[in-house]
Amino acid sequence: MQRRPPTHWAWQVRLLHWLGVLLILAVAGIGLVMVDLERGTDLRKTLYALHKSLGITVLGMAALRVLVRLSTRAPAPLDGPAWQLRLARASHASLYVLMIAVPLSGWLLNSVAGQPLPWFGMVDLPALAAKNADLRKPADTAHVVLFWTLAGLVCVHAAAALHHHWMRGDATLRRMLPPPARRAG
Ligand code: HEM
Ligand code: HEM
């Protein structure tokens, strides 16, 4: 017998979604600030190291998220025209791709720049490519363009979620939040 689909996203999906939001915001904020700091200062070095370590954490979490998503049951799609459902699916898939492509491009940039990558000073990650001064600029551009594409899509995604919540009054946002506590008795 077919079980009814759950009313909410699995707690692991919800936890990784909101942890991911916080982490990506922090990594992006640090990235935007650090590039404007004076070269050679301790603060700049610390923020670069933090940006890279947290960015690699985003990459690991995104991989975990794909596994968790594939191994848990999703709630049933809410009512709406087919084109809207297709658009939502396509934008979610693009968010997954960008969540992986942005940190990977950062890792590639770090590699062609010949910089080491000690994840929180604990694990030395290997370079993805050999040091190459000619590739530094294109890798930098790729990282920045992919980042702004992610930022743009996240804005549309968050606006769509809030539109569903406030204008349409449906369960789209509620089911990505913890279910209401059951009353005792
Ligand atoms: C979710 C993950 C990431 C996000 C959202 C992100 C975002 C950013 C942003 C907004 C900037 C500033 C761009 C600018 O205005 O020039 C930046 C720069 C940079 N990022 Fe990332 N990044 C991520 C992951 C990584 C990772 C994993 C690495 C390396 C392992 C990395 C390495 C760098 C480097 C080296 C720069 C500085 C480029 C320069 O000095 O011109 N990033 N990143
Ligand atoms: C860095 C920012 C964000 C990223 C990368 C992101 C990514 C994603 C992804 C990939 C999904 C698809 C889940 C799946 O099908 O597996 C999703 C779903 C969702 N996100 Fe986000 N999200 C972000 C920010 C936000 C914000 C700020 C909100 C709310 C204002 C939000 C609300 C939602 C909701 C409600 C869903 C479920 C949609 C549905 O049931 O069809 N997200 N998010």
Nearest CA to ligand 2 atom 25: 158
What pLDDT is stored for residue 5 in this prediction?
Answer: 84
What pLDDT is stored for residue 185 in this prediction?
Answer: 46
Is 181 part of a structural domain of the chain?
no
- The residue length of the chain stands at 185
Residue 118 bridge partners (DSSP): 124
Using DSSP, state whether 41 is helix, strand or coil: coil
Is 4 part of a structural domain of the chain?
no
pLDDT in tens, 13-54: 999 999 999 999 999 999 999 999 999 999 999 999 999 999
Distance 19 CA to ligand 2 centre (A): 11
Tokens of 93: 């898939």
- The residue to which tokens 């979620």 are assigned: 161
Tokens of 46: 């610390």
CATH code at 30? 1.20.950
Nearest CA to ligand 2 atom 30: 158
Nearest CA to ligand 1 atom 38: 140
Q: Where are the alpha helices (DSSP H) in 72-176?
A: 82-112, 133-162
Tokens of 145: 């363009």
- The bound ligand whose nearest atom lies closest to the alpha carbon of 110 is 1
Tokens of 20: 């991911």
Is 182 part of a structural domain of the chain?
no
State the residue range of the domain holding 19: 11-176
Distance 158 CA to ligand 2 centre (A): 7
Is 3 part of a structural domain of the chain?
no
What is the Cα–Cα distance from 109 to 120, expressed in whole angstroms? Answer: 18
Residues of the chain with pLDDT under 50: 1, 185
What pLDDT is stored for residue 67 in this prediction?
Answer: 98
CA distances from 99 to 26, 86, 123, 165, 172 (A): 14, 20, 22, 24, 21
Is 1 part of a structural domain of the chain?
no
Domain tally for the chain? 1
What pLDDT is stored for residue 77 in this prediction?
Answer: 86
Is 106 part of a structural domain of the chain?
yes
Distance 177 CA to ligand 1 centre (A): 29
Please name the helix (run of DSSP H) or strand (run of DSSP E) that holds residue 60, with its range, or none. helix 42-71
Is 164 part of a structural domain of the chain?
yes
